[in-house]
Amino acid sequence: MQAVGDDEGRAVAVPARVRRVVSIVPSLTEAVAATAPELLVGATDWCTHPADLDVVRVRGTKNPDVERIVELAPDLVLANHEENRPPELDALRGAGLAVYVTDIRTVDGAFASLRRMLAACGLGEPAWLAAARAAWAALPEPAVRRRGVVPIWRKPWMAVGSDTFTGAVLARLGVDNVLADSPQRYPRFDPADLPEHDLVVLPDEPYLFTAQDGPEAFAAPSALVSGRLLTWYGPSLLEAADELPRALA
């Protein structure tokens, strides 16, 4: 066994060679599947990438099937500070499993965190991660900055607030979140009471906004974007660097 530190500062005991991994975060599932798919033995129902992923499903990020995960006898369980809840993570630890928690809130932080997480799995930096880092570094400084709001749900309306990976992605692309000073990471809001803004960014997850469902509630122009490219941190980062600037133009 060796001890590795996760993003929350915990020492996680993992074997010298990790052979079995359960991921309860879609982004991390995709990252491992793109790097060493043979390691994955379990993932959530929401782990949709890659499309041909064939592993045991262990329910969702907020309600993982702890008993089923324990039965899979993983060497390592991959989790995330925002996506997963402490009671389930504590239950997994209490069952004797090694749980590695990531905490990703910036673009550069994503690259560093993913590299550490993959290293905990016994993996070196993959080509896709190096390419994603280079792609984001090569993006030009935005000529004009815009003020945007990023709804993630309606009935009730909720949006991206403070200290989020999504807000950091948009900031790198020249869109400043008008709710970035909210005391909440995902506050409720009234479209009529928003601060001044000139762009509404509407992702297709977790709420599926469409051209017919979302833009009509706002006076400012809307941009429909892939929620995976806006909120996931993994191989999608390479696609995001290419596609999001065009989607937001």
pLDDT digits (tens, 9 = 90+) for 227-237: 999 999 999 99
Closest CA to 148 of 140, 157, 160, 136: 160
Q: What is the CA radius of gyration of the chain?
A: 19
CATH number for 2-125 (one of 3.40.50.1980, 2.30.42.10, 1.10.3720.10, 3.40.640.10): it is 3.40.50.1980
**Average pLDDT value for residue range 159-176:** 97
Residue 42 contacts residue 55 (beta carbons within 8 Å):
yes
pLDDT digits (tens, 9 = 90+) for 47-77: 999 999 999 999 999 999 999 999 999 999 9
Kindly state the percentage of the chain with pLDDT values over 70.
100
**Each residue of 79-123: pLDDT tens digit?**
999 999 999 999 999 999 999 999 999 999 999 999 999 999 999
- Asked if domains 2-125 and 146-248 share a fold, the reply is yes
pLDDT score, position 219: 95
Sequence-ordered strand ranges (E) for the chain: 2-5, 11-14, 21-23, 40-43, 56-57, 76-80, 99-102, 146-149, 151-153, 158-159, 175-177, 199-203, 222-225
Question: What average pLDDT is seen over the chain?
Answer: 97
The answer, yes or no, to whether residue 144 has pLDDT greater than 90, is yes
Taking residues 23-33, report their average pLDDT: 98
Fold of 146-248: Rossmann fold (3.40.50)
Q: How far apart are CA 15 and CA 1, in angstroms?
A: 4
- Mean of the pLDDT values across residues 128-149? 96
**pLDDT of 200:** 98
pLDDT of residue 1: 85
Write out the two tokens for 238.
């390479």
- Domain residue spans in the chain? 2-125, 146-248
